[in-house]
Structure 1
Amino acid sequence: MTGNHQAPALLLFSVFVAVTLAITTWVSRNRHGSAEEFYAGGRLFSPMENGFAIAGDYMSAASFLGIAGLIALFGYDGLLYSVGFLVAWLVVLLLVAELVRNCGRFTLADVVAARMSERPVRVAMGTSSVTVSVLYLVAQMVGAGSLVALLLGSTSEAARSWTVIGVGALMVIYVSMGGMRATTWIQIVKAVLLMAGAMALTVLVLIRFHGDVNHLLNTAAERSGHGRAFLGPGLKYGGSWTARFDFMSLGLALVLGTAGLPHILSRFYTVPTARAARRSVVWAIGLIGGFYLMTIVLGFGAAAVVGSGAVRTSSAAGNTAIPLLALDLGGGAGSTGGTVLFAVVAAVAFATILAVVAGITLASSASVAHDLYASLRRGSAQRGEVAVARWAAAGIGVVAISLSLLVRDLNVAFLVGLAFAVAASANLPVLLYSLFWRSFTTRGALWSVYGGLLPALLLVALSPVVSGSPTSIFPGVDFQFFPLENPGLVSIPLGFIAGWLGTVTSHGPADEAKHAETEVRSLTGAGAV
């Protein structure tokens, strides 16, 4: 990209960062420092506001950059991500939204610990939540690196590395200064910008092809280099049995993973009632559904307008398909329209990343302070817990930055798929068992968390993602043992089986009184904070 593109995009970056920092500063001067204010924003948000914030939290770099890139490169097979991400919200709406709001206070561990031995359960859930959050953060930062490297016209690793470090520093500032209230307003602003940007690009793509979707798809197939196979299944997840099982594994992880994401579930604590939590999800589903329909048009539009080869040349993982599409739709490189549209889309994508990393960092730092620290230091003051959360945000930022620099060449949607697999393996089984199984015990909870978390991480470490192929993180070595790229097909059932096995082998029966209390509270809201 030329200097003509860099200046307006950098200006828009700076404007968004300045606005969000102003929001954070204003909020930090109008709060009383309690844990409820820091973790849940005082529970003062309306269902519509929270629905926009949930959508802002969920529509990440994986959605805007990664999915469109995968569709541009692999056509029909890339649609799996859009479908899986959207269908997952039915699980959240029907099974967990209201119950989690009634049973919990600030974190996912609150729900499980209500009827178990608190300390070991909180340590297990806190460890799992931080792991999932860090994996999700890595995906966002990889997207930021790809985006700014494209903007600066540089393929140097130094430019991408400094971008990742800068995003990490900003997310720590947002969380440590403003807490949940500032993070929520940043996500609302970002959701509005992202929807507006996606709508504008979608309209321009349809205008380019005179509203003829069939012409759009045929042109995408012609320019993809794969012909009609581009519009049918099997280009990425077809052929070998490992590719087919990878398809099923990824689908399972995407559909079940959302209900185990800590930064999504923590949003239900920012509204006053369980009914408001349910209505928030309905708002979010409408916004997210419309957005994913647009990503389909944008993905095929990138293949048709830019060409799959050009997308792959710019970014082997396809992460720059949307900015390249915007540049072409605006009039091409060097044109005023192309410069402006590219700058707007790049700024919106960067805003997306900043908002999402702030939400994830807040959820993970809350797990460290509220679950790990508070469980080990009984009776600690809430203000001390909030101080720990701020320091935890910095520590998590350092870890996420380090891992992001290691996996910067992978597709961001693919990285998010790994985070979803770990969430569905470690968090979802223990959450569902706690809410619906009367006989569930503390041993079952611990076995469920660790029985899903550890196999998921081990299988990823032994998969082609890490070693054994030219696209691996370590292409020069080969300790690949597990053939699938996504562990969900194996690790998710293991989480459920481990929870069942731990429960049936427990020495004593479950506490029936605690379960009865949790059941009444989850279904009626009686006693909910």
Structure 2
Amino acid sequence: MNPPELIPSEGAIFNTSIFAVFVLITLFVVYRASSQSTSSDYFAAGGSFSGAQNGIALSGDFLSAASFLGIAGAIAVHGYDGFLYSIGFLVAWLINLLLLAERTRNTGRFTMGDVIAFRMRARPVRAAAAASTLAITFVYLIAQMAGAGGLVALLLDVKSTGGQALVIAVVGLVMMLYVLVGGMKGTTWVQIIKATMLLLCAALITIFLLGKFGYSMTHLLQEAAQNNPKGDAIFAPGVQYGKSELTKIDFVSLSLALVLGVGGLPHVLMRFYTVPNAREARRSSVWAIWAMTAFYLCTLIIGYGAAALVGTDAILDAPGAENSAAPLLAYRIGGTVLLGIVSAVAFATILAVVAGLTLTASASFAHDIYANAMRRGRTDSDSVVRVARITALVIGAASILGGILVNGQNIAFLVGLAFAFAASANLSTILYSLFWKRFNTTGTLWGIYSGLISCLLLVIFSPVVSGASDSIFPSVDFAFFPLKNPGIVSIPISFICGIIGTFVGREKVDEDRLAEMEVRQLTGIGGVRG
């Protein structure tokens, strides 16, 4: 079974039409919702969203192509091991709910740099925060771009590398329009629309799919095992990560990155600034957790259902490989119409997440580096927003090139790398800044740069980049680090270096700023908005 037989040319025309309609509608929403008279409007929507609205938008920002395409494909091919991504993504939100949501909302204003620079020397710390934000965002962005290339290549029957590169470029250009026109308010409404569509779509596919098997989960799982070369092994751990002791360690490393990474994702932390107070920030996390719980339960059924109805071999032979499982399943159970709907939702997922990521990166550069590090606060809102828009163009162009380079990789795996960067570079410094009184500027810089650099080097010299058949550069081999996810090494390095740097720095703690930060993060008193 091959993709041309699965998706005929008239389906490609229908899918293209749905893509175009969705883009036009959401661009109109973005334009109508945009209000950018100040930098607060552009970066944080003026703190005007409720906890429920922001929670749905958070789920829309977080449920990326990795969740919809990558995890469904991983479950279809690897079974239980693929579902471990869902568990890691979901459990990770407890860190935000219990430790970070209220405190970051009360302490910061626009970016993660506001929190960790609050009681430190602002210029070097903000520069370090912006560097980590840009690096994490770039890795996350190229995963989404790769997802766009694989998805549209499947739906429009684009087999050539040049054609898929063109698709990725078009997605990048549309994403830039969202960010340039709408800012945070427009992007948030796109994410709310996208999250609602995604949840409804996943629920409908799940209901239709179970109906195919007489609403018998047992029957569905039996068919999945029959159409997967691994057989009943897909219901137990070990198909992907149990082959050797090394793969088991790699799984532990991936799990650490997934569970700890959410607390350091800049685009997630930035969303807590779009609500008016800490109570709404906490409600945002609760709403997001419930929405994502429902979604990930659906992906479990969708993944095994794709194995049952489409077959693992057909999935791996399609453009996009594992990432094609959900669209192929939609075509099998609902024909061209359902495929078009799923395609539009998946496309919306990529556009919304990419827009949120780009906005975060541009806000960090404009607010942390330009406004505070370079201009020392002596600038106006118009200049900051203008710099942010220019940065969005640069980030968009870079992510298009990166997406073309990694096209074909499993998206969930690539996002796992972004989580490793976030946990390594940011989580230690955020937690130390909020909860360790003695923590100082030297510790902050050591924590950020050690985690960021160690993670980057380990990825470069790992099988992700070279030395394996599924590497980015399979024809060369300069890998010496055996794990595909570096989290088990780079995350502890960041925490340890943060401690060592604090004691090496021997800087005197600013007691006044420390006291102000403690009061502000617990009560919200003294926070500056707008």
TM range (shorter): over 0.9
Q: How does 1:16-55 map to 2 (within 5 A)?
A: 16-28=22-34, 31-55=35-59
Deviations 1:296-345 (A, max 9, x none): 00000000111111111114640000000011112xxxxxxx01111111
- Aligned-partner SS, 1:505: helix
The code of the aligned residue for 1:8 comes to F
Aligned residues: CA RMSD: 0.9
* CA shift for structure 1 position 4: 1.7
Tell me which residue corresponds to 1:333. Answer: none
Runs of 4+ in 1 over 3 A off after TM superposition: none
CA distance in 2: counterparts of 1:155 and 1:74, whole angstroms: 25
Amino acid at match of 2:469: P
Q: Deviations over 1:106-145 (max 9, x none)?
A: 0000001110000000000000001101111111111110
Residues 181-230 of structure 1: CA deviation (Å, up to 9, x unaligned): 00000000001111111111000111111111112112111110111112
2:3 aligns with none
Check if 1:111 corresponds to 2:109: no
Aligned AA (1:376): M
Structure 1: segments with no counterpart, 5+ residues: 331-337
Rounded Cα–Cα distance in structure 1 between residues aligned with 2:508 and 2:455: 29
1:70–1:317 Cα contact (<8 Å) kept: no
> How far apart, in 2, do the equivalents of 1:318 and 1:118 lie?
44
Q: Percent identity?
A: 53
Select the residue among 197, 202, 215 that pairs with 2:201.
Answer: 197
**Structure 2 equivalent of residue 369 of structure 1:** 366
Residue in structure 1 matching 2:252, options 237, 248, 251: 248
Alignment partner, residue 481 of structure 2: 482
Which 10-residue stretch deviates more, 498-507 or 2-11?
2-11
Within 2, Cα distance between the matches of 1:471 and 1:435? 41
Distance 1:246 1:214 in 2: 31
Deviations 1:448-491 (CA, angstroms, capped at 9, x unpaired) = 00010000000000000000111111111110010000000000
Which of 100, 121, 126 in structure 1 is aligned with 2:130? 126
Contact 2:151 2:320 in 1 (8 A): no
Flag the 1:190–1:32 CA change in 2: closer, same or farther, 3 A: closer
Quote the offset at 1:507 in angstroms: 2.9
Paired residue for 1:274, among 275, 278, 297? 278
The SS at the match of 2:145 is: helix
**Distance in 2 separating the partners of 1:392 and 1:339:** 39
CA–CA separation in structure 1 for the residues paired with 2:252 and 2:330: 33
Where in structure 2 are the equivalents of 1:141-220 lying within 5 Å? 141-220=145-224
Map of 1:309 onto structure 2: 313
Partner of 1:7: 13
Mapped pair 1:516 → 2:515? yes
Supply the distance in 1 between the matched residues of 2:116 and 2:452 (Cα, whole angstroms): 16
Alignment partners' CA distance in 1, 2:234 and 2:197: 31
CA distance in 2 between counterparts of 1:158 and 1:527 reads: 54
Per-residue deviation, 1:9:
1.1
**C-alpha separation in 1, matches of 2:509 and 2:76:** 52
2: distance between equivalents of 1:70 and 1:311?
11
Amino acid at match of 1:370: H
Checking the alignment, whether the CA contact within 8 Å between 2:462 and 2:480 is kept in structure 1 is yes
1:419-448 C-alpha deviation (Å, 9 max, x unpaired) = 000000001100000000000010000000
Aligned to 1:56: 60
Identify the residue that residue 403 of structure 2 maps to in structure 1.
404
Counterpart Cα distance in 2 of 1:483 and 1:120: 34
In 2, the alpha carbon distance for the partners of 1:508 and 1:456 equals 27
Provide the residue aligned with 1:526 in structure 2: 525
Q: SS at 2:158's partner residue? A: coil
1:59-109 deviations in Å (ceiling 9; x for gaps): 110000000000011001001100000001111100100000000000000
Normalised TM-score (structure 1): 0.97
Q: Which residue of 2 aligns with 1:226?
A: 230
Q: Return the TM-score normalized by structure 2.
A: 0.97
Separation of aligned partners in 2, 1:316 and 1:23 = 31
Letter in 1 for 2:344: A
Q: What is the identity, as a one-letter code, of the residue corresponding to 2:472? A: I
Distance 2:321 2:262 in 1: 23
Q: Is the 8 A contact 1:259 1:428 kept in 2?
A: yes
